[in-house]
Amino acid sequence: MIGFFGVCSHHFLSAATFTTIANQIPDLLVMSVGMTFVLLIGGIDLSVGSILAFAGSVIGVAALRWGWSPWAAAAAGLLASGAAGALTGLVCVLWRAPSFIVSLGMLEIARGLAYRLTDSRTAYIGDTFDWMGNPWALGIAPAFVVAVAIAALGQWILSRTVFGRHATAIGTNEEAVRLVGVDSRPYKVAIFAASGALAGLAALFQISRLEAADPNAGVGMELQVIAAAVIGGTSLMGGRASIVNTVLGALVIAVLEAGLAQVGASEPTKRIITGAVIVGAVVLDRYRVRRV
């Protein structure tokens, strides 16, 4: 794919393109890591885009209106987004409600809160967090490094730890896990909380780039995030996931985005092609699974 865009656009294989992708990808990447775990346990989190906006609003309002230090504001944003995710998880667990519906509710709630907090206006925060997005070289900024570190940590947790093993087993056969004496509920709440907090982290990355908290940020982002995980072979039925593949999935989405923009594709065309790629990836994955 990279080759294709390289041929079609003289500018694609340039440092500038790489910088663009390296700049955009941290948000998508960290949220996809969270989503991969959510999908792994057989859940889904539709609220991450809204939670991103909510977290950004908290950071913006805390820094501007309440006069908190930037670090305290950032911590408040992460905490708020983590709490929103944990709330989704808690409701799912306590009332055995499907996460599709609960997170759909959270999608509206978090977006509403974002508008409330900011009075529907973009909050200009200034350059406090610019250093996060300012590249050291080749577009590699601290945000990019943090995102890669989180992906690596996610892969380690998934494949090497008891937590990851139990999460996988919950997605495969929750009743079997319960009957060996492992309570699945804390795992679910923790994973939804992590998914929310990672959306908060993505908000921080965006603020560092845009110097502003926009209550309209992240609209439809949940679909990109789910697409990244699914292109990476994560099963929507739970029990099968790999962070490494999710990272590749996020790359596919980001490269498509940047590449299609460079070859001059219009916004509608971009969406059509991106949609086709998602479906194609899933169809390919079916063949891969059948062979195994």
Partner 1 sequence: MADPTPSLSVRKLGKSYAAPVLAGVDLDFRAGEVLALVGENGAGKSTLAKIVTGLVPASSGSMQLDGTAYHPATRAEAERAGVRIVLQELSLIPTLTIAENLFLERLPHRWGAIRWSRLHEMARQAMARVGLDDVSPDALVAELGVGRQQMIEIARNLIDPCRVLVFDEPTAMLTVREVDRLFAQVRRLQAEGVAIVFVSHRLEELAAIADRVAVLRAGRLVASGPMADYPPDELVRLMAGRDVAPARTPGPTRAGTPMLRVKHLGRDRVVHDVSFEVGRGEILGIAGLVGAGRTELLRLIFGADRADAGEIELGEPLRARDVTSPKDAVAAGLALVTEDRKGEGLLLADSIAANVSLGNLARVSHRGFGLRTIDRPAEIALAEKHVTALGIRCSGADQPAGELSGGNQQKVVLARWLERDADVYLLDEPSRGVDPAARADIHRLVDDLARRGKAVVVVSSDLRELMELCDRIAVMSAGRLVETFARDTWTSDVILAAAFRRDSEGKGAA
- Asked if 14 is part of the footprint of partner 1 (rule: CB under 8 A), the reply reads no
- Does residue 291 belong to the site contacting partner 1 (CB under 8 A)? no
Indicate the residue among 44 and 177 with the shorter CB distance to partner 1.
177
The window from 13-21, 61-69, 74-82, 168-176 that contacts partner 1 (CB under 8 A) reads: 168-176
Determine the Cα–Cα distance for residues 188 and 83; give it in Å rounded to an integer. Answer: 13
Residue 186 as a binder of partner 1 (CB under 8 A): the answer is no
Among the listed residues 20, 34, 18, 239, the one whose alpha carbon sits nearest the alpha carbon of residue 150: 34
User: Could you tell me the smallest distance in angstroms from the CB atom of residue 191 to partner 1?
Assistant: 13
d(CA 145, CA 14): 21
Residue 235: strand, helix, or coil: coil
CB of 73 to partner 1, least distance (A): 27
Distance CA 163, CA 184 (A): 11
Look at residues 248, 251, 224, 263 and name the one whose alpha carbon lies nearest to residue 13: 263
- Residue 193, interface with partner 1 (CB under 8 A)? no
Q: Which of 119/183 has CB closer to partner 1?
A: 183
Closest separation in Å from C-beta 172 to partner 1: 4
Q: Alpha-carbon distance 200 to 185, whole Å?
A: 23
Of residues 233-272, which lie at the interface with partner 1 (CB under 8 A)?
Answer: 239-240
Residues 19 and 13: beta-carbon distance below 8 Å: no
d(CA 102, CA 112): 15
Neighbours of 264 (CB within 10 A): 9
Q: Which is nearer to partner 1, 50 or 168 (by Cβ)?
A: 168
Cβ nearer to partner 1, comparing 19 with 159: 159
Q: Does 161 bind partner 1 (CB under 8 A)?
A: yes
The structure tokens listed for 124 are 């200009």
Q: Is 182 one of the binding residues for partner 1 (CB under 8 A)?
A: yes
Distance in angstroms (rounded) separating the CA atoms of residues 43 and 11: 41
171 burial (CB, 10 Å; 0-12 / 13-18 / 19+) is: buried
Q: Determine the interface stretch with partner 1 among 121-129, 143-151, 160-168, 213-221 (rule: CB under 8 A).
A: 160-168
Residue 111 interacts with partner 1 (CB under 8 A): yes or no:
no
Total interface residues for partner 1 by CB under 8 A: 22
Which range, of 11-19, 31-39, 166-174, 209-217, touches partner 1 by CB under 8 A?
166-174
**List of residues 6+ apart from 115 with CB closer than 8 A:** 215
Residue 120 in contact with partner 1, rule: CB under 8 A:
no
Residue 165 contacts partner 1 per CB under 8 A: yes
Phi and psi for 150 in degrees, rounded to 5? -65, -40
| Per CB under 8 A, 173 contacts partner 1 | yes
Interface of this chain with partner 1, residues 46 to 75, rule: CB under 8 A: none
Residue range at the interface with partner 1 (CB under 8 A); choices 7-15, 60-68, 115-123, 170-178: 170-178
Residues in touch with partner 1 (CB under 8 A): 157, 160-163, 165-166, 168-169, 172-173, 175-183, 239-240
